[in-house]
Amino acid sequence: MILLHIDWNPSPEIFKIGSFAVRYYSLMFVIAFMLGLHLMKKIFIKEDIPLEKLDSLFIYAVVATLLGARIGHFLFYDPKFLIEKPLEVILPVKFSPFRFTGFAGLASHGAAIGIIIAMYLFSKKVLKKPLLFILDRITIPVAIGAMFVRFGNLMNSEIIGKPTNSDYGFVFQRLGEDFPRHPTQLYEAFSYLIIFGILWFVYWKTNKKEKLGYIFGLFFVLLWSVRFVIEFFKEAQVEGREDWILGLNTGQVLSIPLIILGLYIMFRKTK
């Protein structure tokens, strides 16, 4: 069973100059955004949308993802820190002592909220189309981007799974452990790759995109259902939240209303 057992202890930093470090996590974000830009360019060309609007979309998406995920992390998991040190939440630094930290601590639920708000502004001010039009399309690169973010989490040895109580799993030696855990980062990453494939097929090979919101709703149902299931194998991100409400942890509780919202958007009656 040795092939099922992996001792995991990579450095999260690619290189470091003084207090500034380039991390795999940051690199995964850059790859996610660049790939997303490439995919959206293909979609804009197909939809005959002027490509100059793509630059604005990129800025809206990057700012919304980082700020939404960052604020969401502290709002949902550490609200005390958000109240006491709001600047350290928004800026990628710590002040006491001063050092560059990057955006460590990001929540996907917060990113989802941030992106929806940003796309509302983008659709009204730049695109001049309904909100659900752009949400249907931007969810496709978001799905594949989420895969790279989880690879970054794996390189950071964070968002770890529960012990497997067997020879199978990853031993996160950087955390000082000597027993295998579920590699939930990989579970999620490969699930997001499958979701991307489904959304890409639906957009390019079916007429479902003609119904505003269908692809966006499908994305929400698939993404948050995956998140709900994988949370059973994942350690709670906040101590004491393993059994937050009705035996569910924070991530699962937050996912339920988003699944319901996705189903409603998919199957609502339209003119």
Secondary structure element (H or E) that encloses residue 136, with its range: helix 131-155
The domains of the chain are located at 2-267
Task: Give the single-character DSSP code of 97.
Answer: T
- The SS3 of residue 145 is helix
Q: Which residues of the chain have pLDDT under 70?
A: 1-3, 19, 73-79, 81-106, 237-244, 271
SS3 226: helix
Task: Fill in the amino acid letter for 56.
Answer: S
Sign, CA dihedral 230-231-235-237, equals: positive
Q: In which element (H, E) is residue 86 found?
A: helix 86-90
Q: Tell me: the pLDDT tens digits for 3-36?
A: 678 999 999 888 877 767 788 888 898 899 999 9
pTM of the model: 0.85
Strand partners, 234: 161
Residues with Cβ within 8 Å of residue 255, at least 6 apart in sequence: 109, 224, 225, 227, 228, 231
Residues 6+ apart with CB under 8 A from 155: 10, 12, 23, 24, 25, 28
Q: What pLDDT was estimated at residue 159?
A: 87
Q: What is the pLDDT of residue 245?
A: 72
